[in-house]
Amino acid sequence: MLAADLLSRARFDQLLAAVSLPDPAAAPAEVTRLGCGIWAGDPDLVRNLFALARTQADAVPVIGQLEAGRAQIMEHLVQRLEDAGALAPGLSRRDATDLLVAATAFAGWDQIVTARGRPPVTATKLIVRMAQRAVTWAHRAGWPALRRESTVHGQLGWGSPGRTDTGDPTVIRMAPR
């Protein structure tokens, strides 16, 4: 009942429609945006449901239903990406699904909003960006690609020509393809 009410108020029907957007590379971003809308619609309720699921067996089916549905949607999105040749190279369907499931979890969104003090709309934009880039960014025209190169110290690092090397091999720089 709680899950159905939450999904109804959050316009879950729009999320389900976004799963089938004509552009399979655009669908994950829209689904993620709308999914974060579920979290933003009543974050206190969602937070309490997750807390209850850890302590009360009655809440487990509610969260289980939400999480199983989210995972199925992510599997479907990844299958569409693979079918369209838009899945990031070297990324298996299972890994891509796991990345989307992790990126779109309430805990990440809530961390950005509560612990980091960011507005829900900002958290949503960041989650969308992360989810999209995690599984498709290498295929998007004009999006940057990472290139691995050696630093002057002989360690592996990331960099791009035309940018000043800081000497820090942990710094990731974006280079156009």
> DSSP letter string over 123-177?
HHHHHHHHHHHHHTGGGSTT--B--EEE-TTSSEEE--TTS---S-TT----B--
Q: Do 171 and 84 have their domain in common?
A: no
Region of poorest pLDDT, from 13-17, 30-34, 111-115, 172-176: 172-176
- d(Cα 172, Cα 80) in Å, to the nearest integer? 29
Are residues 65 and 101 both part of a single domain?
A: yes
Query: Under a CB-based contact definition with an 8 Å cutoff, are residues 176 and 144 in contact?
Result: yes
**Would you say residue 165 has pLDDT above 80?**
no
Instruction: Determine the pLDDT at residue 45.
Output: 85
Regarding beta strands 156-158 and 148-150, do their DSSP bridges make them parallel or antiparallel, or are they unpaired?
antiparallel
Residues 55 and 108 in one domain: yes
Query: Which of the two residues, 95 and 1, has the higher pLDDT score?
Result: 95
Same domain, 116 and 31: yes
* Same domain as 108, residue 42: yes
Q: What is the CATH number of the domain that holds 76?
A: 1.10.357.10
- pLDDT category at 7 given cuts 50, 70, 90 is low
Give the pLDDT band (50/70/90) at residue 149.
very low
Q: Which of the four pLDDT bands, split at 50, 70 and 90, describes residue 162?
A: very low
pLDDT in tens, 47-96: 888 888 788 777 677 778 888 989 999 999 999 999 999 999 999 999 99
Whether residues 12 and 30 share a domain: the answer is: yes
121 and 150 in a single domain? The answer is no
Q: Does residue 105 share a domain with residue 70?
A: yes
Residue 127 · residue 104 · CB < 8 Å = yes
pLDDT given at position 147: 36
167 and 94, same structural domain? Answer: no
Whether residues 10 and 66 share a domain: the answer is yes
Model pLDDT, residue 2: 60
What's residue 19's pLDDT? 92
pLDDT of residue 122: 97
Q: What is residue 5's predicted lDDT score, i.e. its pLDDT? A: 65
Count structural domains, the chain.
2
Percent of the chain having pLDDT more than 70?
70
* Same domain, residue pair 17 and 62: yes
Residues 100 and 28: their CA atoms lie apart, in Å, by 8
Give residue 4's pLDDT: 62
Selection from 25, 31, 27 nearest residue 12 by Cα: 31
Whether residues 92 and 39 share a domain: the answer is yes
Query: Which range marks the domain in which residue 59 is found?
Result: 2-139
Cα separation, 118 vs 105, in Å, equals 17
